[in-house]
Amino acid sequence: MGRLCFYLGGAKSGKTRAALEAAESWPGPWVYLATAQARDEEMRARILAHQRERGESWRTVEAPRELAAALLGLPGQSPVLLDCLTLWVSNLLEEMAEPCNLELVALETERLLRATAERPGPVVMVSGEVGLGLVPMEPLSRFYRDALGRVNQMVAAQAAEAWLVVAGLRLSLKR
């Protein structure tokens, strides 16, 4: 069974950089499992910046929604960096036939965690911490915050290590 490491932080906190360093501590080849979709020019620029940051030694696999299937299809020993759960939850919500259903999000997360546990190689997951701010005014935004919070709790519970990244600094939550 592979090792699961979890990096959590706010926007532009340095969580992806910290996760890249963690994944690169294992021998490659490394796989970057991307959930972002280039839907506009600004997002395309962000994706390109992330690609430049990790360099050409990483293989990128795009999986905006089907993370469990994508993980199971990757070479077993390769370290995998899954970036990020924040966008994955957003992608799930867009495709839901029944909006605002926490149980459907939990079921998808359980599938992802089972696939992670089946991998012999390490998996590093990145997610945004959205529960430290104000309560959103609109119901969909509140649901998103609640859904991502639940996903983060489920992943942290299964992780061998969990880190909070703030201003580029790592705080150990679980080791």
78-124, pLDDT tens digit by residue? 999 999 999 999 999 988 767 678 899 999 999 999 999 999 999 99
User: Strand locations in 45-174, DSSP E?
Assistant: 58-62, 80-83, 123-128, 161-166, 169-174
Average model confidence (pLDDT) for the chain?
Answer: 92
DSSP SS3 for 57: coil
Cis-peptide, bond into residue 84, ω within 30° of zero: yes
Cα dihedral 90, 170, 82, 155 in deg (nearest 10): -70
pLDDT interval class at 157 (50, 70, 90): very high
Q: What's the confidence (pLDDT) of residue 50?
A: 80
The pTM (predicted TM-score) of the whole model is 0.93
Residue 161: pLDDT over 60: yes
What is the total count of domains within the chain?
1
3-23: pLDDT as tens digits: 999 999 999 999 999 999 999
47-88: pLDDT as tens digits: 788 888 888 889 999 999 999 999 999 987 999 999 999 999
Q: What's the confidence (pLDDT) of residue 2?
A: 67
Alpha-carbon span 79 to 144, nearest angstrom: 29
Q: Are strands 161-166 and 123-128 parallel, antiparallel or unpaired?
A: unpaired
Catalytic residue positions? 50
Looking up residue 30, the CATH number of its domain turns out to be 3.40.50.300
Whether the CB-CB separation of 3 and 31 falls below 8 Å is answered with no
Domain that holds residue 81: 4-174
Q: What's the confidence (pLDDT) of residue 85?
A: 98
Cα dihedral 163, 154, 23, 7 in deg (nearest 10): -30
C-alpha closest to that of 79 among 155, 28, 22, 7: 28
**% of the chain residues with pLDDT over 70:** 98
Q: What's the confidence (pLDDT) of residue 43?
A: 81
